[in-house]
Amino acid sequence: MSSLQFDIAHLLAGSLVLASFMMLYQDRLYALLNVYALHAGVLALSVAWQAYVQHAPHLYVTALIALVFKAIIIPVALHRIIRQLGIHREIENVIGVGLTMMAGIGLVALSMVVMLRVTPGADALAREDLAFALSVLLLGLLIMVTRRNAVSQVVGFMSLENGLVLAATGAKGMPLVVEISVAFSVLIAFIVIGIFLFRIRERFDSVDVQELDRFRGERR
């Protein structure tokens, strides 16, 4: 692999982490969805580049799936849901932006250290790729933890899954069947969660998960 190819792969994976950071501080739902679409688009590019570099044509299919499902269908569907729920004006922030960003930076540093410690024998691209993927994954979890709105928790979950796909493509060899089944399971999870969103909304007039806690008789 030439150094240019390596650099481009590096660049794309790094932009994915950057997109995750952008998601961290979006406090409006539409903006969050737009960044998520960008996130998925970068993922698709990155996977396509891996396909080109590794001469693995089946990865093009993976990239296509990422582009179609994650960058187009899911954001559009979530847009519709938000509009139907009428929550596009809601603003949410649980922890301050600065604190969240600091935590995110810490997580990225942590995943770098872990990967350097754990994979001394692997080749450089795989190490970098895995470190970025772990960062994306942890940032996705952080998004889920810091949000109260069910829709943004779903988005956090989707970005977490993007990290998994990135890790798999970098590690040379997730079979297509696995990739397709992961994609479908995410889609089904999305459908189920979507239905639940409407059910919650129907009952509580809100998709703030705090309502659920209040319903169970718990205090924050």
Q: Which residues here bind other proteins, judged by CB under 8 A? A: 107, 110-111, 113-114, 117-118, 138, 141-142, 144-145, 148, 153, 209-210, 212-213, 216, 218, 220
Residue 115: name the closest of 157, 179, 42, 166 by CA: 166
Kindly state the smallest distance separating residue 56's Cβ from other proteins, in Å: 29
**Which is nearer to other proteins, 24 or 138 (by Cβ)?**
138
Kindly state the smallest distance separating residue 38's Cβ from other proteins, in Å: 24
**Which is nearer to other proteins, 63 or 147 (by Cβ)?**
147
**Which is nearer to other proteins, 44 or 138 (by Cβ)?**
138
Kindly state the smallest distance separating residue 213's Cβ from other proteins, in Å: 4
Kindly state the smallest distance separating residue 39's Cβ from other proteins, in Å: 19
Are the C-beta atoms of 180 and 66 separated by less than 8 Å?
A: no
- Provide DSSP, the chain: --HHHHHHHHHHHHHHHHHHHHHHT--BHHHHHHHHHHHHHHHHHHHHHHHHHHT-THHHHHHHHIIIIIIIIHHHHHHHHHHHHT-TT-B--SS-HHHHHHHHHHHHHHHHHHHHHH-SSS-HHHHHHHHHHHHHHHHHHHHHHH--BHHHHHHHHHHHHHHHHHHHHHTS---HHHHHHHHHHHHHHHHHHHHHHHHHHHHHS--BHHHHHHHTT---
Kindly state the smallest distance separating residue 109's Cβ from other proteins, in Å: 9
Q: What are phi and psi of 208, to 5 degrees?
A: -75, 120
**Which is nearer to other proteins, 205 or 213 (by Cβ)?**
213
**Which is nearer to other proteins, 1 or 113 (by Cβ)?**
113
**Which is nearer to other proteins, 8 or 112 (by Cβ)?**
112
Kindly state the smallest distance separating residue 114's Cβ from other proteins, in Å: 5
